[in-house]
Every structure is written in C-alpha cells, then in structure tokens.
Amino acid sequence: MRPALNVRRPGGGITLRGSFGVARVIVAIVGAVALVGDYQYILGFSSFSKANYFAYFTNQSNGAGVVVLALGAWFAMRRATDPAALVTGGMLTSTYTIISGVVFGLIVSQAGDYNYKIVVPWSSQVLHFWIPAYVILDWIFAPGRRPIPWSRLWLVLIYPVVWGVFTIWRGSVVGWYPYFFLDPGQVSVPFEFAAYSGGIVVVITGLAAALIALTHRRREHAPVASEA
C-alpha cells in the first residue's frame, strides 16, 4: 500500500522531501529550456550539424538527467523513499552531469593558453555549471535516497565507454569530434589519448564512488537499495 502524499506535514507546511520535489521540477524545466536554448544558439553557426549537437556527452547526459529529475520529483511528492532503480539511475546521471561540468570548465580555463576564445552562452552556463551544482546539493541533502550497493559502481562506466567508442568511430567517418581529447589530429595516439581517457575514467569512477558513499552515510535512515 502506497503512503499518502509526502508534500505537506500534518500540521501544515511543506516537508523537506516535498521541497526537493518542487526544486527538482523547477530544475528539470530549466534544464529542458537550456537544452533547447543551446540548440537554438548553435543553429547560428554555419558549420553546425544537427546530428553533432546530439553527439555531445553533455547534451545526452543532461537530457537523461532531466528525465531522472522529473521522476525524482514525482516520487518525492508521492513516496517517503525513492525506488532503488531510480536512485541508481540518479547516481549515473549525476556523475555524468558533474563530469561534463568539470571537463567543460577545464576546457574553458585552458582555452586562453592556446589563443582560443570560447563563448559560454547562458544555456551552456546552466547545463555545465548551475545544474551540476544543484545535483550535488540535492545528492547531499535530499532525504529518502536508499543506500546504493557498492556492487553497482561498475555500471557508471558502461555509457562513457560505449559513447566513447561510438564517438571515435563516428569521428573517423564524418571528420568531427565533440571534444579535442578524442581527436587524433589534436592529441597523440596512443599515449596522450590514453592519458586523457584514463584520467576521465578515474574521475568518473571516483565521482560515482563519492555519490554512493554519501548514500551510505545515512544508512540508518533508509534500507539498502536491494529492491527495484
């Protein structure tokens, strides 16, 4: 039997979990608007390819993140705890969203060293900086998140590996790569390419491990996420 709505306390006022449910709705809407805004911004470039837009790791991960946030909002307003599958999905999309912001921030900060200017429109700022910042706060403070078994840590590598292999293959066909460290014309192969790729894999795994550890920090407040 499902518990009653979890948005308001019996004596009035919104619960902490309900507050995060509302926040997730807002952030999901802002994220969807930013994805559309980023698409419209890039349309202004003569070299823009619609297919290339959807090839970016950031756009794919943020699109998935919007869906997970929306689902998280619904469950936050309906149930005391999130389903285990949603918590695991949130760990994955949160990791990808955060790493996208980290990588983009490094690219922007290093662009000046190569006499290259990167314009960061409002949509990119939202997708790369503001949404990752909210995701971190949500993961630390939002109640109702079940502990994730450590055995699920390896799941975080499936999507980046598949995306990376496909992107490298596609780049060799169309002559375009979404990020410089995947382009053989900009990094040496195999050593420099391996260094960049290996470093990103380590960071992704570390981020996912940190998110899982945070769910175990509040183990006494929620059962282990063994159910779907």
**Does residue 4 fall inside a structural domain?**
no
pLDDT digits (tens, 9 = 90+) for 41-65: 888 776 678 888 889 999 999 999 9
**Number of domains comprising the chain:** 1
Return the pLDDT at 111.
Answer: 64
**Does residue 167 fall inside a structural domain?**
yes
**Does residue 186 fall inside a structural domain?**
yes
pLDDT lower than 70: segments of the chain: 1-13, 46-47, 111-117, 218-228
Query: 68 CB contacts (<8 Å, ≥6 apart)?
Result: 86, 89, 90, 93
Of 155, 142, 124, 108, the C-alpha closest to 56 is 124
Long-range CB pairs of 156-165 (<8 Å, 24+ gap) are 156/91, 156/92, 156/95, 156/204, 156/205, 156/208, 157/201, 157/204, 157/205, 159/92, 159/96, 160/57, 160/96, 160/200, 160/201, 160/204, 163/57, 163/60, 164/197
Return the pLDDT at 48.
Answer: 74
**Does residue 8 fall inside a structural domain?**
no
Q: Which domain holds residue 154?
A: 16-221
**Does residue 44 fall inside a structural domain?**
yes
**Does residue 131 fall inside a structural domain?**
yes
**Does residue 121 fall inside a structural domain?**
yes
Return the pLDDT at 2.
Answer: 47
Return the pLDDT at 3.
Answer: 47
Q: What pairs with residue 8 in β-bridges?
A: 14
**Does residue 28 fall inside a structural domain?**
yes
222: which DSSP letter? S
Give pTM, 2 decimals. Answer: 0.86
